[in-house]
Structure 1
Amino acid sequence: MDTTHAKESAVPVTRPAPSFLFFDLETTGADPAFDRPLQFAAIRTDLAFEPIDKPVVWYARPPTDCLPHPAAVMTTGMLPDAPELEGGDSEATLANRVHRLVSQPNTCVVGFNNLRFDAPMLRFLFWRNLLDPYRHEWADGNSRFDVLEAARAYRLLAPGALAWPTDNDGRPTLRLAELSAANGLTHERAHDALSDVEATIDLARHLHAADPALWERLLAARDKRQVARLLDAADHAPFLHVSSRLPARVASASVFASFGQVDDNRNRRECWDLRFDPLPWLDLDADAWAERRFLKNPPEDAERDWDDLRLPIKSIHLNRVPVVLPLDALERDGVAQRMVIDRERITLHAEHFRTRFAALRERLVGALERTEGDLPPQPVEQALYAGFVPPGDRRLLDDWWARARSLASRVEAIDHARGLMTMRFADDRLAELVEGFVARNLPEALDATARRRWQARLLERLRPGEDGDDESAGGRDFPGLRAEIVRLERDERWSGEQRALLAPYRDWLARREREVVSLARG
């Protein structure tokens, strides 16, 4: 870790005015738990979307233990040896900078598809780098919001707000580049983080201007208590829910009724899709419900045998800013027609849900008991959701980082990292997580034994043996990527310009493999 970059001024004692922090990431791939940020860009605005700070654009060097996917290279146009990446920060320095930026009090962190991708990517970035992965999302007046989900809601509830593009097959699309082009928004370079941020701000501005009241209703869901009040109504009152998990042909929306909290997760509610009559499902026992939870065939698939259809239940997380609205939203002009719902049938199904609630809930609880289990073993860098870090361990790590930010030289940072390696933690994950953190950012601090362990891990992940039984790299090893390059070279869905990046990427991959082998041999 370069402490000359990590050292920054403390967060002001006086709480700043509420602001939006629009941000975007470009990464090594599409898996938030495995992949790593390479570019971070952000612009802070006031609540009227006017910038109040200078834009930030930060780059990180590709880490030794995570190889960029060639599809990510073709998408972003950034080769791993691009000057801005090779001259970028260590991952620890990037994590520290971003963590302090998003943790400023009264910040609403905003992106486009950030709740499903960028926000989890930040959580894992902070986890790998020993920073609190959650606090920035809720503490000190902070929150988060997703303009993609807002756009999805506007398409249903206020379709006059924008021109809504379609893809080459005539299907509606909410891709940022297509929305920008269709509506004349600022968007110079798709998949450049700063350009995507600028486009997201422009899109948010347009949505707000078209229907300020709807924007405020959607923003209200940042408070999970408000979401809970709607979903936990005593009479199981139906509500409208818009989600990418619902079919586009019904405007990605349906009417639901909630079972309330049914397990130990206080932030999750299981909800019944009222397009479907719950009574026939009572003919099935809890085992059958468990089998139906994860079937691929949606419950509305009329061409499938009823026995092959998925249970019409959806999880809604109170703390993920869901688009949930009272049923009066159906009164807006054309909403029910766009959702292709029969309101009389919805009312009937809601009555069946209320009258047979106890039996339905009993089936659901039984199904959850049969399907909810422990997470399979994972590499420690991906084990964030295996449990919260104990408070005592959290204080040790926070204190370590507080001291690290004050160091003026790399020599001091190395000595400080050696102290970190001697700490004893209650959480069994942390000793290995700390060793990986030090190996990636301050390898000089490793002793001979720890260095050999790290070298062995690199070889095991990136150059698996002939049996190929190591899955910790998610298939992202040297042999696997060489095969992926060959496949992508023949894939004409990518442009010629994009596929031209595969040859220099192959050269970089060969150089990186030689470096890893040389490092492992010491």
Structure 2
Amino acid sequence: MSFVIYDLETSGLEPQWNVPLQAALIHTDQNLVPLGELSLRCRLPAHIVPAPAALLTTGIRPEQLEQSPLSSTEMLGIIAKALASWAPATVIGYNTIRFDEEVLRHAFFTHLLPPYATQVNGHRRADLLTMVRAVAMLEPAAITVPLGATEKPSFKLGDVCRSNGIALSEAEAHDALADTKATLALFRHLREVAPTTVATMLGLTDKGVANRMLASGEVMLLGGLSRLTPMVGVTPNPTVATSWATVDLTVDPAGYLDLAVEAIVGLFLQRGVRPIRTVKTNAQPILVAYEQGCHALQPDQRNLALYNERAAQIREHTGFRTNLAAALANRFTEREPSPYPEATLYGGGFLSNEDARACARWHASLWAERTAISAGFSDERLKAFANRLTLLEAPQSLSPTGWQKGQAWLRDRLTTQADVPWLTLPKALAEVATLRQTLPASDAARHGHLDAIERWLNKQTQFFQLAA
């Protein structure tokens, strides 16, 4: 199987309300020899306010937000086509499953592209940060993890690369192509110095492997951020087959086996040691057999006999397993659904096959033909996204009334003083003021960058004030 290594630089940190501004993808063969490369930038969509902190981190200047040749829709379309043409592959990046993947999914969703493009057509997904953590736990002599400013291990891509002989300067970091090349180099390095752990982690990109391990009822080791914990799988979520409940076997089960469903739900939020943990089997968990990782446990935690005894207690307690399954299913039932379509990727249901095919036709058609296609969507979310994309990229296709409604929506979206979940122009200007107070006075370059961001935000605000 081939690999697709990628990185995104985004307009902000919250996936529902932001988009990639820069993307880089490198397609390699199974030996990590490059076969193809993409490096892309796009313009900022008009309805999104970039987070000033994100622009400071990535070094993107405000003028770059408007000068790129590609629109957001065009860039995302190129990425989607590349992922389809390079399938099947293991899609991998650094901290991608927790962040880049989420941004890409939501951006694909709001741009009428397949949201789960990294998990179809035979693709599997992996995260090199997770693999680095696994190597640090299981084969600590194979990799150097440096200490950060707080004297705690730093797993930042640049820090790990430089500590292991891979060039990635601070000036280069947060450029999508530089980060992607560094990720590829670090992946090569890990395969050389820790082949057993890397092979284990690549195997866990197949959710079936993790599902079978958890279903076995055997004592396993589950990796967190920095340590391994003896555990046993108990039950999958009745409504989400790739979410499993496991229990920490260092905790005496007598304290929770007889709890009611409501009390078990509370254990998921318990501070300190949580006896129950959920594992996403489609997110490459660090999950190994006890024998493979017991050497990494503290000496007083190497008690397989005790763990087998506790695992047997849990397996034999039918009532606990039943109540735990119910707790998983009911865990988020009280959450109010979001009134905003871009925040409903997970809560609003999967797209139908018919709508997915209509989205593909929408992208393959001329703007003049897209209105009729979008009118046929059965999913109201898709209609809202199609209307938005038409306003942002082909306003000439709208009727005068439609254009006026769109401009009123855009003005309210960007300038509202209401408590909304996305970043508005007033919120961004307040963030600039906060950042200015935290930046050292001697950092002239970043202060200058912040000044440019503030001027751009003020210019956008004045434009909409005049328009109103």
TM-score using structure 1 length: 0.83
Equivalent in the alignment of 2:254 = 279
- Cα offsets for 1:37-93 (capped at 9, x unmatched): 10001111222222122x3211011111111111101111112312x7522311110
Q: 1:193 aligns with which of 176, 182, 203?
A: 176
User: Quick one: structure 1 residues 47 and 494, their matched pair in 2 at CA, closer, same or farther if it must change by over 3 Å?
Assistant: farther
User: Quick one: structure 1 residues 396 and 148, their matched pair in 2 at CA, closer, same or farther if it must change by over 3 Å?
Assistant: same
In 2, Cα distance between the equivalents of 1:378 and 1:242?
A: 36
CA contact (8 A) 2:12 2:18 kept: yes
Determine helix, strand or coil for the equivalent of 2:279: strand
Equivalent in the alignment of 2:426 = 479
Equivalent in the alignment of 2:241 = 266
Mark the runs of 5 or more structure 1 residues left unpaired by the alignment.
1-17, 300-310, 405-412
Shift of 1:339: 9.9
1:294 aligns with 2:248: no
**Aligned 1:306-317 pairs, distance under 5 A:** 311-317=274-280
Q: 2:454 aligns with which of 488, 491, 506?
A: 506
1:76 aligns with 2:58: yes
CA contact (8 A) 1:379 1:472 kept: no
In 2, Cα distance between the equivalents of 1:345 and 1:490?
A: 54
- In the alignment, residue 388 of structure 1 is paired with which amino acid? F
**Aligned 1:79-94 pairs, distance under 5 A:** 79-82=61-64, 86-94=67-75
In 1, Cα distance between the equivalents of 2:302 and 2:398?
A: 62
User: Quick one: structure 1 residues 284 and 138, their matched pair in 2 at CA, closer, same or farther if it must change by over 3 Å?
Assistant: closer
- Report the RMSD for the aligned CA atoms in angstroms: 2.2
In 1, Cα distance between the equivalents of 2:302 and 2:455?
A: 55
Q: 1:176 aligns with which of 157, 182, 195?
A: 157
Q: 1:390 aligns with which of 330, 352, 356?
A: 352
Equivalent in the alignment of 1:439 = 391
Equivalent in the alignment of 1:227 = 210
Shift of 1:27: 0.6
**Aligned 1:108-127 pairs, distance under 5 A:** 108-127=90-109
- In the alignment, residue 368 of structure 2 is paired with which amino acid? D
- Cα offsets for 1:201-257 (capped at 9, x unmatched): 111111100122321221111211122111111xx112112233xxx3xx2x21221
Equivalent in the alignment of 1:100 = 81
CA contact (8 A) 1:279 1:352 kept: no
**Aligned 1:119-518 pairs, distance under 5 A:** 119-134=101-116, 136-188=117-169, 189-233=172-216, 236-244=217-225, 248=226, 251=227, 253-282=228-257, 284-295=259-270, 297-299=271-273, 311-331=274-294, 334-337=295-298, 342-343=303-304, 345-356=306-317, 358-368=318-328, 370-373=330-333, 375-385=336-346, 386-401=348-363, 403-404=364-365, 413-421=366-374, 423-465=375-417, 468-469=418-419, 471-473=420-422, 476-492=423-439, 496=443, 497-518=445-466
Shift of 1:464: 1.3
Determine helix, strand or coil for the equivalent of 1:271: strand
In 2, Cα distance between the equivalents of 1:62 and 1:445?
A: 21
CA contact (8 A) 2:91 2:124 kept: yes
- In the alignment, residue 273 of structure 1 is paired with which amino acid? D
In 2, Cα distance between the equivalents of 1:192 and 1:225?
A: 35
In 2, Cα distance between the equivalents of 1:339 and 1:481?
A: 51
In 2, Cα distance between the equivalents of 1:243 and 1:479?
A: 38
CA contact (8 A) 1:165 1:182 kept: yes
Mark the runs of 5 or more structure 2 residues left unpaired by the alignment.
none
Query: Among the aligned pairs, what percent are the same residue?
Result: 27
Shift of 1:269: 0.9
Q: 1:58 aligns with which of 23, 28, 40?
A: 40
User: Quick one: structure 1 residues 320 and 436, their matched pair in 2 at CA, closer, same or farther if it must change by over 3 Å?
Assistant: same
CA contact (8 A) 2:92 2:126 kept: yes
In 1, Cα distance between the equivalents of 2:300 and 2:13?
A: 31
Shift of 1:128: 1.1
In 1, Cα distance between the equivalents of 2:284 and 2:392?
A: 34
CA contact (8 A) 2:3 2:29 kept: yes
User: Quick one: structure 1 residues 505 and 206, their matched pair in 2 at CA, closer, same or farther if it must change by over 3 Å?
Assistant: same
Shift of 1:416: 2.8
- In the alignment, residue 261 of structure 1 is paired with which amino acid? P
TM-score using structure 2 length: 0.92
CA contact (8 A) 1:420 1:434 kept: no
Equivalent in the alignment of 1:24 = 7
Equivalent in the alignment of 1:305 = none
In 1, Cα distance between the equivalents of 2:3 and 2:391?
A: 35
In 1, Cα distance between the equivalents of 2:12 and 2:119?
A: 27
In 2, Cα distance between the equivalents of 1:428 and 1:419?
A: 14
CA contact (8 A) 2:358 2:373 kept: no
Shift of 1:378: 3.6
In 1, Cα distance between the equivalents of 2:8 and 2:77?
A: 15
CA contact (8 A) 2:361 2:373 kept: no
- In the alignment, residue 60 of structure 1 is paired with which amino acid? C
